[in-house]
Chain A
Amino acid sequence: MTVSNTAWKSAAPPPAPLSTKSPKSRTRKPVRAHGWRNVVWVLPAVLLLGLFAYLPLVQNLGFSFLKWDIYSGRQTFVGADNYVRMFNDPIFWKSLLNNTLYAVISIAFQVFGAMILAAMIEGLRSQRWRGILRAVYFVPSAISLTVAGLLFYFIYEPEMGILNAALDFLGLGNFTQAWLGQENTAIFAIIAMSQWQGFGYCTLLFSVALQRIPSELYEAASIDGVGPFQRFFSISLPLVREMTGLMMIVTVSGAFQVFNEVMVMTSGGPNNSSQVLGTWLYRSGFVRNDFGYAAAVATAVFIITLVLAVIQLRISKKRRVQW
């Protein structure tokens, strides 16, 4: 387990058989130096990715320097115009801010909230209860974001939705409102739905990480008379630290790729208040017929996700678990 954890990232896989470049060092059947025929193994994957992932990536950069009318097909080179426009576009900044909000709130709920929840679950004595709770929390993650988005669209609906009905029932009738219809609540309502959808997945992963901690550590702690809180802070927390780091990055990069739930619930409205980079890109390209500008926004998304991915690589390179 520890081997495969790190080996692929360093691209120097000592335990991987047959990857040796010096066949002399091993006494096995002579390995052909570089069998060009062997590329058939990776050709399908490389072709698919090259054509449909990497090539578009490069093309996108090219497109971001064009003014491009999809109907007439006219493309004019406009230099950095799209980028200048982007930097002066309040909706672009609003989107970026919303993505950042998404990231911050998701870290609170889906990383730290999930971690505490997982510790609570794993602290239960009954194996059965642990299994049931993990599964129940995960169920929202299994349904599609579209279904979840539509469902919460109805939950937030002022007349038939259960959120306002529940507030009324609890005597908090003053707080009832059209959650998705107002500029100051729409994005928060969407983010809340995302937390409902995603926290079970993170809880599950933290549960697995906690299970990997050898029970001897806890046994030793209980002999020393360590209480549950101290046990959490001095054993569980440090030993899932790598998972925490990784989850943070996964959650943050997910927050900058949000699209689906915003599209389904508000399409970025009202008045662009819940716009995120993904939906703004979509709207610019496909609704406002401004493909060059959309490509520039896509480049911004790419740079953000690239930076986050590099950080993720660094973290995972360091994470070599000790047990």
Chain B
Amino acid sequence: MVTRSALLLALGRVLIKAFLVALAVVVVYPLVWMLLNGVKSNAELFSNPFALPVAWKWDNYITAWNRGVGDYLTTSVLVTVASTIATVFISAWAAYGLTRVNIPFNRVVLVLILGGLMLAPTVALIPLVKMFQSLGLYNNLWALLILYTAFRVPFTTFLIRAYMMDLPAEVDEAASVDGASKARAFWQVILPMCKPILVSTVLLNILFTWNEYLFAMVFTSGGALQTLPVGLTNLMSKHGTDYPVVFAGMAIAAIPVIVLFFAGQRYFIRGLADGVGK
């Protein structure tokens, strides 16, 4: 009896492993297909979709870059860096205020900031268009910077605040005994202690900004001002018959975040787990 159930268990293990590996192959194959199509010729693309490229046409990447992907990438990097810095800074600043400083109406403020977690960007879209038009910020990167920051502050504050609450109060006492002002304690004591959560919020914000589409599509229209997600759909509609170039453009947009994910995997997992777990 014992051997029989042990055998069944072992068999189960093998089957589960086989299933998990097969699923992994199915999940990753579309991405491999995308990368391979980026170095094929148009004719090859249609002849046999599963075939490997005959001659690896790396110049598809150069063509894609020159057809605007280079500009889109620059814009994406700019917006991503600026809004990530702004979001994490403003959020950490607010989280410090909410956990370690006595603010009038702090409960109202707390609800106001964290309540933003439930606002869907689509709901605010129509008024925002009107507002940014009248501010003269339509088709301007400031619009994206402001909107990305505003809509990411609630979640980021939420994560950093949760982390700061777990820091012992003695730290602040020690700082204030040493005569440090609140601002100094923030910069020199609390912020360095928050490094793990700051890293994971930075990664999460990069991931969000790099991939955002709705605001980018609505608030920019000039070629050079567009971010990668919007630019790619343009590339598709303008050069839609030159498919390998579109695939190359998609790869250029996808690879940086995949690399970033593997580099910061530990923090990603932590940030995601804390974010939804709390």
Contacts and interface: CB of A to CB of B under 8 A. Distances in A.
Interface of A: 1, 3-5, 7-8, 11, 13, 15-20, 28-29, 31-36, 38-42, 44-46, 48-57, 59-60, 63, 117, 120-121, 123-124, 129, 133-140, 142-147, 150-152, 154-155, 159-162, 165, 169, 196, 200-201, 204-205, 208-209, 227-228, 243, 246-247, 250, 253, 256-257, 259-260, 263-264, 277-278, 281-282, 285-286, 291, 294-295, 298-299, 301-302, 305-306, 309, 312
Given A60-B127, A133-B24, A147 B254 contact: yes
B138 interface: no
Contacts of A142: 207, 254, 257-258, 260-261
B55 interface: no
Given A57-B124, A133-B20, A306-B118, A259 B106 contact: no
Contacts of B50: 162, 165, 169
A201 B262 contact: no
Interface residues of B, number: 111
13 contacts: A4-B163, A42-B93, A44-B90, A45-B113, A136-B24, A140-B27, A146-B253, A147-B250, A151-B31, A204-B273, A257-B122, A298-B126, A306-B118
Given A41-B96, A137-B27, A140-B27, A35 B102 contact: yes
B58 interface: no
Nearest to A162: B49
Nearest to B162: A4
B101 interface: yes
Which label, helix, strand, loop or mixed, suits the secondary structure of the B interface? helix
B122 A18 contact: no
Nearest to B103: A38
A18 B100 CA distance: 5
A257 B120 contact: yes
Contacts of A57: 119, 123-124, 127
B243 interface: yes
A45 B20 contact: no
B102 to A, nearest CB: 5
Contact of A162 (B5, B33, B213): B33
Interface of B: 5, 9, 12, 16-17, 19-21, 23-24, 27-31, 33-34, 37, 45-46, 48-50, 90-91, 93-94, 96-104, 106-107, 109-114, 116-131, 146-147, 149-151, 153-154, 157-158, 161-163, 165-166, 169, 172-173, 176, 182, 207, 210-211, 213-214, 217-218, 228-230, 232-233, 236, 243, 246-247, 250, 253-254, 257-258, 260-262, 265, 268-269, 272-273, 276-278
Given A44-B90, A45-B157, A301-B123, A52 B20 contact: no
Contacts of A278: 122, 214
Contacts of A31: 102
Given A18-B102, A42-B113, A250-B276, A138 B261 contact: yes
Given A133-B24, A150-B246, A160 B45 contact: yes
Q: Among A1, A18, A120, A302, find the residue whose CB has the most chain B CB atoms closer than 10 A.
A: A18
Given A60-B127, A281-B122, 8 more contacts: A33-B102, A124-B16, A129-B17, A147-B34, A155-B33, A160-B45, A298-B126, A302-B123
B114 A8 contact: yes
- By Cβ-Cβ distance, the 10 closest A-B pairs, closest first, are A41-B97, A17-B169, A144-B211, A309-B118, A56-B124, A146-B229, A59-B127, A56-B127, A208-B273, A45-B94
